[in-house]
Amino acid sequence: MAVPRTPENKAAVADTVPLRSCIACCMTEKESTLLRPCRACNHDYCTECVLDMFITATHDSTRMPPRCCALLPIHTIIAELSDEEAAEYRAKVEEWITPVKTYCPSPTCSAFISDRLIPCDTPAKPAPLPPSIVSILQEVLPAIAASSSARFFRGEMDISELPGFTKVVKNPIDLTMIQDNISKYHSIKEVTADMRHLVSNAVDYNGVKHPVSHAARRLYAEYTDQLSAVTDRLIKYTAKEPAPKIFACPKCHVAICPSCKQIEHAGRPCDTRAAEEEAAMLERFGYKRCPRCNAGVKKMYGCSHIQCVCGGHWCYYCQRSTSECDGGCGEYSEGDDEEEEEEESEEDDESDEEEGGMDAVTSGRDVERVEGGQPAQSGNTGNSTHPPPAAAAAAPPPPPPERFVNLDAGPQRVWAEGDYDFGSEPGDEPFAQVWSCRHYFMTCEAPPADGINRGNLDRMECNRCFERVIACKPAPLSGLPQHLLKMKKRRKAGSRPKGMLLPAESSEILNEAAAAAAGSKEALECEICHIIVCSSCRNKYDAEDDAD
């Protein structure tokens, strides 16, 4: 028999419904304002706990990002953050999320530099080879030979048959003779000398005011004009390479080379010796690089799960994310540990032998000096300021050059049994790590209108570039305007009938239109790590995945 629903019964049922509470501090919705900030779960948090996560992550890189089962977007708590706190958080999260970080090379600065401020270091195209003398003459001489001023000098008639020509001109020459000898010229200077000789022959035989002499001078002028045009093009081949692009540190404004990320070096080749020495030292001492931030890491003892100061969780042996490591690397982990301990023991033995050998040499010198009757003088003798010759000869040699010392050397048992604090063991990370995620981006859908506070959705922004983005709900196909239905041409038809849009595609088209109408970019969300990005940053992630 059904019980009638009276006001008393409704109140009793309401009293039995458990109150929502903060998963961190257990405060109920009656005691504090609750949020549901995580897009991967239904966990509730109070405003104070979410705000504390964001503020703490700003000052502690190991707590970055603020997270539950996925990272928490800033729009969930933006109303509680001041403008200064929000700007500081964005700067820190950009540093955290950047895969290859760049820092100012100035020792007094070392500020993080965003990728957005670094110009693309595209390799310059190789300059074409400069033209040869033959190719220049093959371009210039036919051009002047076709001129009307050259009609008297093309070799169409034998000028030596002119009356009295050989008596006046000792070395006859014409354009045909110059063109036939192109391959014999070693410089443009030789060609120019022959052109001047052609003009002087015409003037000597015909006189200064004769029309042929005027034609010869015009021909020489046309020759120099053609040669000047070719010379202007040669400047492209002989000009210096454009200066490489440089960028400035946003904090100290020092000029930085985009290739080596060191202080600008005025056209000199990039100096990579410091990086090479660092890599050699890390390899020698058995360090490994963090796959996330590239920092040198040494496992002192314990399991292979490493938590770097950058927040990355990875396996020490295969150097992959803990979410990707299948545990197969554990088969050779013990062997690697034993090999490392043997190498470290050998290094310790070698250093002990070197110290012992140096002590023996030093003690031997002391014995010889004492037996030679030259004890050490502790003070000045008389007024002499110079040591006796024997004492000068017995002076110890200069110390050997300083060597790098591995302060982390020693068997793992020494570190495990010693009174050293290496921090707590890294815990299991419940959220997908962004740095190792193979992102699969889909349209970011707005949450349902169920009355639960999920932050200010109107201030949703890209987690990488912080551009404003908008999340939209999917819409039925029938609700699309006709001008949007025409956008189907951008999609691949596949096997569906021509002119039909899939529901997911209709949603994506509508979201793009809604975002454009709102003056924001469409929000895209990774289905694995739940990072929210704009379309431009999605393309950057795709390019990085393709590069890997």
Residue 157 has pLDDT above 70, yes or no: no
Angstrom distance (rounded) from CA 180 to CA 191: 12
220 contacts 199 by C-beta, under 8 angstroms: yes
Give the domain ranges of the chain. Answer: 33-102, 133-239, 273-315
Q: Enumerate residues 6+ apart whose C-beta is below 8 A from 167.
A: none
* Mean per-residue pLDDT over the chain, rounded: 76
Question: 461: closest CA among 86, 35, 113?
Answer: 86
Q: What are phi and psi of 461, to 5 degrees?
A: -140, 160
What's the pLDDT band for 212 if we cut at 50, 70, 90?
confident
374 contacts: CB under 8 Å, gap ≥ 6: 388, 390, 391, 394
Residue 487 confidence class, pLDDT cut points 50, 70, 90:
very low
Answer whether 94's CB lies under 8 Å from 114's CB.
yes
What gap in Å lies between CA 286 and CA 263, rounded to an integer?
Answer: 30
Comparing 29 with 368, the larger pLDDT belongs to 29
| pLDDT tens readout for residues 243-281 | 557 899 999 999 999 888 999 988 788 888 888 888 888
Tens-place pLDDT, residues 404-443:
677 777 778 888 878 887 777 776 655 668 888 888 899 9
Per-residue pLDDT, averaged over 172-198, amounts to: 87
Confidence of residue 460 (pLDDT cuts 50, 70, 90): very high
d(CA 260, CA 267): 12
User: What is the rounded average pLDDT of the residues 141-151?
Assistant: 86
Please tell me the predicted confidence (pLDDT) of residue 398. Answer: 62
Residue 512 has what pLDDT? 54
| Contact of 464 with 521, CB cutoff 8 Å | no
> What separation in angstroms does the CA of 378 have from each of 102, 249, 396?
56, 56, 16
- Return the pLDDT at 466: 92
Instruction: Look at residue 121 and tell me whether its pLDDT is greater than 70.
Output: no
pTM comes to: 0.58
Domain 133-239 has CATH 1.20.920.10: yes
Which of 48-57, 80-89, 264-273, 476-485 has the lowest average pLDDT? 476-485
- Paired with 526 in beta bridges are 441
pLDDT attached to residue 263: 92
Q: What is the arithmetic mean of pLDDT over 3-20?
A: 61
